[in-house]
Amino acid sequence: MKRTGVFICHCGINIAGTVDVKKVAEELAKHPGVVHSEDYVYMCSDPGQNLIEQAIKEKKLDGVVVACCSPNLHETTFRNASKRAGLNSFRCEIANIREQCSWVHKDKLKATQKATKIARSIVEKVRQNDSLDALSVPVTRRALVVGGGIAGIQASLDLANSGFEVILVEKNPSIGGHMIQLSETFPTLDCSQCILTPKMVEVSKHPMIKLMTYSEVQDVSGYVGNFKVKILKKPTYVDPAKCTLCDECTKVCPIVVPNEFDLGLTGRRAIYIPSPQAIPASYTLDDKNCPDPFTTIACGKCADVCKPKAIDYDQKPQIIEEEVGAIIVATGFDLYDKEHMAEYGLGKYADVLDGLQFERLCSASGPTNGQILRPSDHKEPKEVVFIQCSGSRDPENHCAYCSKICCMYTAKHAMLYKHHVHDGQAYIFYIDIRSGGKGYEEFVQRAVEEDGVVYLRGKVSKVFEDKGKIIVWGVDTLTGKSIEIAADMVVLAQAMRPSVGAQELAKKLKLALDKDGFLAEAHPKLRPVESVTSGMFLAGAAQAPKDIPEAVAQASGAAAKAITILSQERLFHSPTVAKVFNNLCTGCGMCVAVCPYDALTLKDGKVEVNEVLCEGCGTCTATCLRSAIQVKNITQQQVAEMINACLGG
Amino acid sequence: MAKIEDLKEEAKKLLREGKVKYIIGYGAGTNGWPAAPLFIKKPEDVDKLVWDPTCVHNLVRFLVDEKRRKSRQKQPDKRPVGIIVKGCDSRAIVVLLQEKFIDRNDVYILGVSCEKTGVVDDAKMSKKLAGKKAKTVQVDAQDRFVITTEDGKVEVPAEELLAARCLECKANFPVIYDVLSGEKTKRPLDKPFGSLEKMESLSAGERWSFWREQLDKCIRCYACRSACPMCYCDECVVDSINLAVTADTTADEKARRTRWIQRSAESSENLVYHLVRAIHLAGRCIDCGECERACPLDIPLRLLNKKLEKEAKELFGYEVGFDAALPALVSCFRDEDPQDFIR
Amino acid sequence: MAEDYEPRIVAFLCKWCSSAGSDLAGVSRMEYPPNVVPIQVMCSGSVSPLYVFSAFNKGADGVLVSGCHPGDCHYIKGNYYARRRLNLVKKLLEYVGLEPQRFRMSWVSAAEGTKYTQVIKDFVKDLKPLGPQTKLRRNP
C-alpha cells in the first residue's frame, strides 16, 4: 500500500496568486495512495521543510511530492529534507507548478486544474520510484597525459605537484611539441626554448612523472576512475642512460632524410636527436629509414663508433599496460598541409614557406643559424610577403574557422624579419587583425610603427615564380588598387589543424570530435576543458586553435578537473541508470547501438549495463521494441501513468 | 520455373549425413493448393518436397518455433535446421541474423529462385477457379501459370494470379543461401511501392474511413503476430495477457506490467495495436505477406507495413533484409535525416 | 463545435533544453494557454512511440515532443534518434488518417522561452478548429 505525502507550496503569491493551492491540496488528498496533503506558504523555508520531515515520520510516508517551483531550484533541498527524516531521497519528487503553470497562465480556474494534473502525474511517478543509493566506484589515483607539448607539460606538472603520479605519453622522441620549434614568442619576444626548457627539464626530473616518449596510446578501456590503457613504446635502439650526446654516430650514418624538426628545410640522419635541447637527452634510431635491423643487417656503423655502447639493435617494441583514473588529451596541432595550398605555391616553390618553417629560419639553432635566407639560393630576401588566413576563414575551399594566432605570429615574423634584415621590406596581406590578448594590440602597432611593416587589406589571388622572384598578385581593398609584389620570399600563415593522428586517437578513446576535427568539449561556454566522456579532459590546441597562454591556462584547468576525480578515493554516480529485464531481452542489440556512452554490451545473448558509464538518458528504452530496458525511476510504466494523470484520468 | 531436384539431392545428403536436424520445405497441400509446410526427418521423405507457385508460406516463422523449442531443452541438438526459402523469405533470415535471434550456423539455407514469376494470391486463385478444385499449379516455358483442374488445364498469364507483393518484388531469388536452385534472372519490378499509390492518393478523411472500416473488423486474434517471423517477442507490449515470466518474476512485477491498451476489440484499441505493430516492424518487415494471408478478416495489413517500408527508403535511405551487418533502422541516423516536420 | 472546446495537449519536454526553455518562459512571465500539461523526460531520445499512441489513446487532442537542437543534445545524440523515430510515427499517424496537426515536434533550447511560448500558442490555435480527437481515443 502506498503512502504518499503531497505538499503544495504557495511560494508567497508566486503560485498562490494564480493557483488555488488549497483546492489543489484537497484534490490531491483524494488521490489513491495519498495519505497526507497540505499547503504551506514557503515550502523551501525551514518550517516548510520541517513539515515534510514531520509528516514522513508521523505518517510513515514512503513517497513525497512537493508541488512548487522548478526542480532545478529546490529538488536537492527537499530530497535532503526527506533523507534527514529517514526517507530515501529518490522517493521525493518535484511537481513544477510555478514556472510551467502559475507564472504563465492568467485564468485561475484553468491554472488550478492544470496544477492538479501536474501534481497528480508526479504522485503517480513517485508511487513507482525505487529507493536508490548513489553508485560508488573506487578510483585509481593516477593520471595519463597524452601529448608532450606545452599543454601536456603544464598539465603533467600541475598534477605531479599535487601529489599524483602522471604518465606522460609523447609520440615523438622528445617532448616540447611545436613550442620548442619556435624562435621567439609574442608579445614579449621571449626566446621560446629559454622559457620552455626549464619546464621540460622539470618534467624529466620529476619523481611523480613517468615520461614515455616515442610512445603511442594503443587502446583505452574502462571508465572514469578506472581506465586501463595500453601504450606502445617504440624502440629507439639507444639506451638513454648511456648516450652521452657525443654526436659521433651521425657523422658515420649514410642515410639522410628530411628533418621533421626543421619541417623539411634540412636533412637528418637515420640516427638523430631532434634538437639539442631534446628531453629525454638521448639519440633515436629511426628504424623506418635505417635498413631494418631485424631482417637485414643494419650497416652497423653507428654502433661501431659509439664509445659508451649505447646502441642496441636488439631493442623491441613493448606494449605497456597502465591503470589510471583520469586522462588528459593534449595532442596539439599541425599546420594545414601543403597539398591543400598549392594555389599559393606551398610545396611547389622552395621560397614559399609556412609559418613554422619561417620560425626555424629565425631560430638561432635553425637551418640557417638564425639568418633569414632563401632556401633556393641562400640569398637574403629583401622583399618578403606574408599572407594571413591561408586556409582559414574560407568555408568554400578550406577551413571555415579563424586560426586565432596567425595575426599575432605574422606580425612577429615581420618584426623578426626586419630585425634580421634591416633594409628588407615586409608586406602583410590580411583580412582583419585579431589581437585581443594582453599586450597584443600594442605589439601589432609596434610592427607598423617601429618596423615599418606594410599591412595590405586584401586577399592574394595568385602566387607564381618568374625569373627567380615569387610574384604575388593581391588587392588592397582600402585603396581599391590591385597589387603586384615581386617578392623574394612568401610566408603563409597556414591554418591550424588538429595534429596528425589525433583523429585515430580520438576513435580509440571514443572522444567526440567537432565539425572541424578538433576534440569536442562538453559545453562550449561552461565546460571547455571536459570532453563528453567522463574522466577525459582536453587541453591545448587539440581542442581549438589557441596561443600559448591560453594553452597553459587550459592545461592547468584540465589538471584541476582531473584532480576532482583523483583526489577522491571513491566516485559517486547518479543511480538513475538503465536496467535490463532479462526475461524480455532477446539480445537484438538495438539498444547497444544507440547508447551515446557505450554503456551497454551484449553478453551471452542478453544486454548488460555498465552503471558507471550510463547517464540515464533513456534513448535505449525508446529503441527497445520489447520494453526490456528501463531507466530506474523514469520507467515507461511510470510515464504511462503520468500520461493518464495529465489527461485528467 | 526452377526444378528443385538439386535441392532434393542436397536435402537427402544432409539428412543421410546427419548434418541437419530436419528440413522445412513445401509439400503437397491437403486440398490441391496451396502447398503446405513439410517437416522432413528421413532422407526417403525428401521426395515429398514440391516447388510450385502455390508455395506461399514464409517458412522462416518455423525457425522462431525451433529456437523456442531449443531454449526449453536441457541438452538441445545444436545441429542446424535445413530450410527452403524464396527470395522474400531469405530476407527474413537476414533480419533474424541482423538481430542475432539466430546464428548463421543455426540454418542451412536451401534457396530457390522464383525466376520470372512468383507465388499466387489466394483470392485471385479462388476467383479464377470459381469453385473448381485445382490439382496442380505449374509454370510453363512462357512463364504462364498452368492450373490443372478436374476439367483439364487452364493457362493464365502470371500477372493475373500473382500475389500483390510479387508485383513489387525486391528479391526474386534468395539474397542469402547455402545452395541455390533456379536462375538468378532479373525480373523487372512492376513498380516499387505500387500497392501504396491508391492509398496515398486519397485524402486524410478517406484514408481514415478506409482504415476505420478495416480495423473495426479486427477481432484481435493475433494471427498476424503469430504468422510473422519478426514478431518473435516472448511478450508483446500491446498485449497485456501474454506476460513473459521466469521463476523469479515477482508478483509486483507482474502487477506493474504496463497495459498500454485494453484487450477489447474496440476501434481505438485495435488501431493502437496495429500502429504499434507497424512501428515495431519499421525497418524489419520484408513484406512476405503472411500477416495479411493469415488474417481471418482479410484486413490489408501489408498496406500498413509497406508504408513505413517506403518511408524508411525515401526518408532514410534504408533497405531491409539485404545486409545482416547493418544497424537497425531506429538504431542509426544520418546528419541529413529530414527535419522539415520539426518546428 | 462547442465554443468552449479547449484542446488537451500532452507535451514531452526534454529536461536539459525544452523543459528549461519552458522554465525560462515562466521566469520571463510570458503567457500562453493552459491547454498543455508537461511531462519532463530526460531526453527527447527517450520518447517511445508508445507514449505518443498512449497519449492519443487516453484522450489527448494534441501531442508535442520537444528536445534540444541537433548537435546540442545533452546526451550527445538522443535527439537524432528521436528525429528519425518520431518522423516515422508522424508519417504513420497521417497515413491512417489522423489529422497531421495533432502530433508535433519542436526543437526548443534552454534559451528559447519565447519560442516555447509561440510553439504552444500555435499548437492550441491549430488544434481548436479540429475539435476533440476521437480516432484513437478509448471510449470510457
- Asked if the C-beta of A107 comes within 8 angstroms of chain C's C-beta atoms, the answer is yes
Tell me, what's the pLDDT at A515? 82
Q: Are B181 and B317 members of one domain?
A: no
Range of the domain at B289: 193-343
Cα angle, residue B123 at apex, residues B120 and B125 outer, rounded to 5°: 50
User: Which residues in C have their CB inside 8 Å of a CB on B?
Assistant: 49-50, 53-54, 56-57, 70, 77, 80-81, 83-85, 87-100, 104-107, 119, 122, 135-139
C42/A616 touch (CB, cutoff 8 Å), yes or no: yes
- pLDDT tens figures, A350-363: 999 999 999 999 99
For residue B130, what pLDDT band results from cuts at 50, 70 and 90?
confident
Tell me, what's the pLDDT at A513? 84
In a domain, B332, yes or no: yes
In a domain, B27, yes or no: yes
Mean pLDDT of the residues in chain A: 94
| Average of per-residue pLDDT across B254-266 | 87
Please name which of B17, B20, B23 lies closest in space to residue B45, comparing C-alpha atoms.
Answer: B23
- Asked if the C-beta of B219 comes within 8 angstroms of chain C's C-beta atoms, the answer is no
| B255 pLDDT more than 80 | no
Q: How far apart are alpha carbons B160 and B285 in whole angstroms?
A: 25
Please report the residues numbered 3 through 22 in chain B whose beta carbons come closer than 8 angstroms to any beta carbon of chain C.
none
| A247 pLDDT more than 60 | yes
| In chain A, % of residues over pLDDT 70 | 99
Q: Are B218 and B238 members of one domain?
A: yes
**Distance in Å, alpha carbon of C14 to nearest chain A alpha carbon:** 10
- Asked whether A457 and A388 are in contact (CB, 8 A), the reply is no
Q: How far apart are alpha carbons B164 and B160 in whole angstroms?
A: 10
Tell me, what's the pLDDT at B295? 96
In a domain, B126, yes or no: no
For residue A289, what pLDDT band results from cuts at 50, 70 and 90?
confident
Domains defined for chain A, CATH in brackets: 4-132 (3.40.50), 142-234+317-332+499-566 (3.50.50.60), 334-497 (3.50.50.60), 577-631 (3.30.70.20)
Number of domains, chain B: 2
| Average of per-residue pLDDT across B134-153 | 87
Please name which of A611, A618, A615, A616 lies closest in space to residue A226, comparing C-alpha atoms.
Answer: A611
| In chain B, % of residues over pLDDT 70 | 100
B341/C81 touch (CB, cutoff 8 Å), yes or no: no
C135/B260 touch (CB, cutoff 8 Å), yes or no: no
C81/A617 touch (CB, cutoff 8 Å), yes or no: no
| A292 pLDDT more than 70 | no
Q: Are B39 and B186 members of one domain?
A: yes
Tell me, what's the pLDDT at C1? 55
Kindly report the pTM of this predicted structure. 0.79
| A168 pLDDT more than 80 | yes
In a domain, B146, yes or no: no
- pLDDT tens figures, A617-629: 999 999 999 999 9
| A423 pLDDT more than 90 | yes
**Distance in Å, alpha carbon of B293 to nearest chain C alpha carbon:** 21
| C91 pLDDT more than 70 | yes
Q: Which of B190, B219, B245 is the last residue of a domain?
A: B190
Q: Which of B101, B249, B327 sits opposite A586 (nearest CB)?
A: B101
In a domain, B145, yes or no: no
For residue B206, what pLDDT band results from cuts at 50, 70 and 90?
very high
| B138 pLDDT more than 80 | yes
If 0-12 CB within 10 Å is exposed, 13-18 middle and 19+ buried, where does residue B100 land? middle
- Asked if the C-beta of B312 comes within 8 angstroms of chain C's C-beta atoms, the answer is yes
Of A18-27, A519-528, B93-102, the least confident:
A519-528
Q: Are B61 and B174 members of one domain?
A: yes
For residue A526, what pLDDT band results from cuts at 50, 70 and 90?
confident
Q: Are B185 and B43 members of one domain?
A: yes
Tell me, what's the pLDDT at A296? 61
In a domain, B161, yes or no: no
C46/A121 touch (CB, cutoff 8 Å), yes or no: no
B204/C99 touch (CB, cutoff 8 Å), yes or no: yes
- Asked whether B112 and B35 are in contact (CB, 8 A), the reply is no
Mean pLDDT of the residues in chain C: 94
- Return phi, psi of residue C44, to 5°: -60, -25
For residue A646, what pLDDT band results from cuts at 50, 70 and 90?
very high
In a domain, B147, yes or no: no
- Asked if the C-beta of B226 comes within 8 angstroms of chain C's C-beta atoms, the answer is no
For residue A100, what pLDDT band results from cuts at 50, 70 and 90?
very high
Cα angle, residue B336 at apex, residues B333 and B342 outer, rounded to 5°: 90
| Average of per-residue pLDDT across A624-638 | 96
Please name which of A439, A385, A433 lies closest in space to residue A407, comparing C-alpha atoms.
Answer: A433
Q: How far apart are alpha carbons A486 and A479 in whole angstroms?
A: 20
A631/C20 touch (CB, cutoff 8 Å), yes or no: no
Q: How large is the ipTM?
A: 0.97
Tell me, what's the pLDDT at B59? 97
| Average of per-residue pLDDT across B59-78 | 93
| A294 pLDDT more than 60 | no
- Return phi, psi of residue A304, to 5°: -60, -40
For residue A572, what pLDDT band results from cuts at 50, 70 and 90?
confident
Please name which of C44, C116, C51 lies closest in space to residue C76, comparing C-alpha atoms.
Answer: C44
| B252 pLDDT more than 70 | yes
Q: Are B220 and B335 members of one domain?
A: yes
Tell me, what's the pLDDT at B248? 76
Tell me, what's the pLDDT at A297? 61
Q: Where are the beta strands (DSSP E) in A260-344?
A: 267-269, 271-272, 284-285, 318-324, 326-329, 333-335
User: Which chain C residues contact residue B307 at CB under 8 A?
Assistant: 91-92, 95
Tell me, what's the pLDDT at B253? 76
User: Which chain A residues contact residue C7 at CB under 8 A?
Assistant: none
Chains with at least 3 CB pairs less than 8 angstroms from chain B: A, C
- Asked whether C38 and C65 are in contact (CB, 8 A), the reply is no
Mean pLDDT of the residues in chain B: 92
Residue A365 has a CB neighbour count (10 Å cut-off) of 15
- pLDDT tens figures, A180-202: 999 999 999 999 999 999 999 99
| Average of per-residue pLDDT across B190-209 | 92
In a domain, B182, yes or no: yes
- pLDDT tens figures, A102-134: 999 999 999 999 999 999 999 999 999 999 999
Domains defined for chain C, CATH in brackets: 9-129 (3.40.50)
Higher pLDDT, A518 or B129: A518
| Average of per-residue pLDDT across C127-135 | 95
